[in-house]
Amino acid sequence: MKLLIEKNKMSIFVVLNLLLTIGMNLGHPVTPTLLKSLELPPHVFGLSFAAMCLTNFIFALVWSNVANGMKKTRILMISSIGYAIAQLLFGYALNRYSIYFARLLSGIFAGGFQVGLMSYVVNEAPEDRQSHYITISSIIVSVGAALGFFIGGYLGDVSVRLTFVIQAVFQIVLGIMFYLILGSHEKIEEKMEWSMIRNSNPLKVLQSSRHLMKDVVLILLIVTFTSSVGTTLFDQSFNYYIKDIFNFVPSQNGIIKAITGLFAVVLNVVLIRRRNRKKQGVELGLLKTVFIAMGSLAIIVSFSQTSKPFVGFALAWFGMYTVMIPILQNSVISNKHSVEEGNQLAGLYNSLLMLGKIFGALLTSLIYTISPSSTFMFAGVIFILSFIILLKPEKRMK
């Protein structure tokens, strides 16, 4: 049995990753309904997401350091159980303050998911297959989110709180399975030192990573931040907009994200697998095309006044987003020169991703309160700005 697991551990990882991602997203389609039922103002949606991203940003670097001395499956188990508890608190919250507390707690463990999953690939996948598994993991994020939204949406039509209970049980079971099945096959001698946590001050870690932030890597990290701001503006506004303006029920939100999952599979198979992964210049060229497309589509969405064109163009935007994720991740991680540097780049990537989400969520709260549709316009402008930033390394790649 052990030999069978060792031989197929990456395939098992992919399956468990998919199930874990589905579980993480069960509560998302019912969140706008939960907040509306509590009669909370629109800005609470953005601020609560910003709260989660804040602790995610801080603890992504903690998890990144801890990953050097702890099994990734143990990190995933701890994160799954912690996230389950946080989601139960969120689902049973009665006011904005308990909402904020639950979101802060969720962010701590969400950071563990992201670092744990990416670091597992960096540490356990064969060197020549890491790009492949990062791409697979990125597709899983989109497909798993789509399935999670779809299932969670229909559960939400029955009961909002029941959705969070089912999510919590599912997360706990999956986290334990991750550790019990794959934990004994990790190639790491666990050693935990207080310095790993003490040295995880985000500012200190960013300072110590300055040697990595140069040339193309610096540009990629900058657009990781800007694209994260734009993505958060669009995605968070979309989730609340379809409930607030079009009065969609949770299952309709779930169906939309399920269609997005199909886009994720088709577009990644057609576009991602056809690109030459060995030439970073080709990846950057494709990333620029994706940024322009996302910027243009977001601006079109901002002018869509009825539900059909709004949802149609938004689906196209989400499709391009699923293409962007693996390109950006591969471009950043491919610059590593060692496993430890790979973990560091993974931590930097996730931290900047979360920092972008913090700013994006705060912008969403501000702009949505003034003009709901303008959030999509701002998102479009940010993606066009990301395209312009990417033009800088073009000459170096020739």
pLDDT tens digits, one per residue of 281-298: 557 788 899 999 999 999
Q: Please list the ranges in the chain whose pLDDT falls under 70.
A: 189-190, 192-209, 268, 271-282, 335-340, 343, 393-398
Residue with tokens 């990144």: 64
Q: Is residue 190 part of a domain?
A: no
Evaluate whether residue 140 is within a structural domain.
yes
257 vs 235: CA distance, rounded Å: 11
Q: Please check whether residue 193 lies inside any domain of the structure.
A: no
Q: Which residue has the tokens 């699923």?
A: 322
| pLDDT value of position 194 | 62
Confidence (pLDDT) at 3:
79
CATH number of the domain within which 222 lies: 1.20.1250.20
Q: Is residue 352 part of a domain?
A: yes
pLDDT at 135: 75
Domain that holds residue 110: 2-182+206-397
In a domain, residue 123? The reply is: yes
Residue 281's pLDDT is 53
What is the rounded CA–CA span in Å between residue 123 and residue 116? 10
What is the reported pLDDT for 336?
66
Q: If 0-12 CB within 10 Å is exposed, 13-18 middle and 19+ buried, where does residue 97 land?
A: exposed
Q: Is residue 43 part of a domain?
A: yes
Number of domains in the chain: 1
pLDDT at 253: 82
On whether residue 199 sits in a domain, the answer given is no
Q: Which two tokens stand for residue 22?
A: 């589905």
The answer to whether the beta carbons of residues 202 and 57 sit under 8 Å apart is yes
Cα dihedral sign for 350, 355, 361, 364? negative
pLDDT of amino acid 208: 67
Considering the domain boundaries, does residue 69 fall inside one?
A: yes
